[in-house]
Amino acid sequence: MTVRVLGDAEVLSLITMGESVEVMASACRRHALGRLSAPARMAAPLEWGQLIFTAGAYCDDDGGRIGFRVYDMQHFGSSARDELVAVFDTANGALLGLVAGSALGPLRTGAIGGVAIDSLARPDANTLALVGTGKQARTQLQAACAVREFDVIRAFSRSAAGRERFCREMSEALGVEIEPVESAQAAVADADVVICSTLSDTPVLETDWIARGTHVQNVGPKFRDSSELPVELYESADVLVTDAPAQLADYGEKFLVAGTPHADRIVSLGEVVAGTAGRSDPDQITLLCSLGLAGTEVALADRLLQLDAGSAAGSAAGSAAGSLDS
């Protein structure tokens, strides 16, 4: 048996961010329809590490996929850390392929963010703020620009050199102007969309900095003892959304607003995509609690494997035609 294995080079070359957002929107829609199984993460504590598994499965009229993603949590911050995603056919259990490396995870998370912005931000949103300029911020920005056109984009991080580099590199990559600013408050002032993707265990902004009508994405920590957003922002947001309800439930009392009436208000991103929940007024503040819907890695990996197979078939056909011509 020959198993296809895709690495970061293939992930980054085979699919666009816009296509990735479409794959994630379809996965969220499946989730709302009960066609995507997305349990909470599973941990395997070991003597020299801690493996984290996210497993998921989905079905469509023409078949389904089941699979998992695994990585070592002990080395979460390591630049050398890789992840592995395996995709199986639900019809016969055949292993369809593997995706290994560090590119698929941020691509998936960014694309889910794109789905949320497309579904929850006001139609006239034209000012984007980013607080945090790390790896996740890059794909969040790519996805935001894939679904909306912004006239103003501002970015802040604690490292002046880091935010300058981020703005320079992402401006060149996306063909848009991104302004580095000196504070989080300056970044979010009058912003229509705010993306927080930091590792901060204390709030990086204040609730009264957020204007009415803003959509906020909480990508980083969201716990009682460690949160990049203030609890008051969760309490004052009119619409609270998460992409992964099972994961949120698994957090239990650790979650920022667990045990409060605000936790009961949280709806799934799948419901928003399906049109049964979401923004109903332009003045509402909407907030995405981004956790990573299980099964979305499998869906994205499957699309990559399909694209790779199509590319290989096209190359083979071209070679055969070339041989005939000669």
In CATH, the architecture of 5-105+294-320 is: 2-Layer Sandwich (3.30)
Query: What is the Cα–Cα distance from 139 to 113, expressed in whole angstroms?
Result: 9
pLDDT score recorded for residue 316: 57
Question: What's the pTM?
Answer: 0.94
Instruction: Please state, in angstroms and as integers, the Cα–Cα distance from residue 163 to each residue in 133, 140, 142, 205, 212, following that order.
Output: 6, 15, 16, 17, 27
Half-sphere exposure in the Cβ direction for 321 (13 Å, CA) = 6
Query: What is the Cα–Cα distance from 81 to 87, expressed in whole angstroms?
Result: 20
The pLDDT of 24-30, averaged and rounded, is 98
Give burial (CB, 10 Å; 0-12/13-18/19+) of 227. Answer: buried
Q: Are 141 and 130 in contact (CB under 8 A)?
A: yes
- 234-276 confidence digits (pLDDT tens): 999 999 999 999 999 999 999 999 999 999 999 999 999 999 9
Among the four given CATH numbers 3.50.90.10, 3.30.1330.10, 3.40.50.720, 2.40.10.10, the one describing domain 112-289: 3.40.50.720
pLDDT score recorded for residue 315: 64
Query: What is the Cα–Cα distance from 158 to 162, expressed in whole angstroms?
Result: 8
Domain ranges of the chain: 5-105+294-320, 112-289
pLDDT score recorded for residue 179: 98
- 87-139 confidence digits (pLDDT tens): 999 999 999 999 999 999 999 999 999 999 999 999 999 999 999 999 999 99
Residue 87's DSSP bridge partners are 67, 97
- Name the pLDDT band for 297 (thresholds 50, 70, 90): very high
Query: What is the Cα–Cα distance from 78 to 243, expressed in whole angstroms?
Result: 26
Backbone angles phi, psi at 122, to 5 degrees: -60, 145
| pLDDT > 60? residue 319 | no
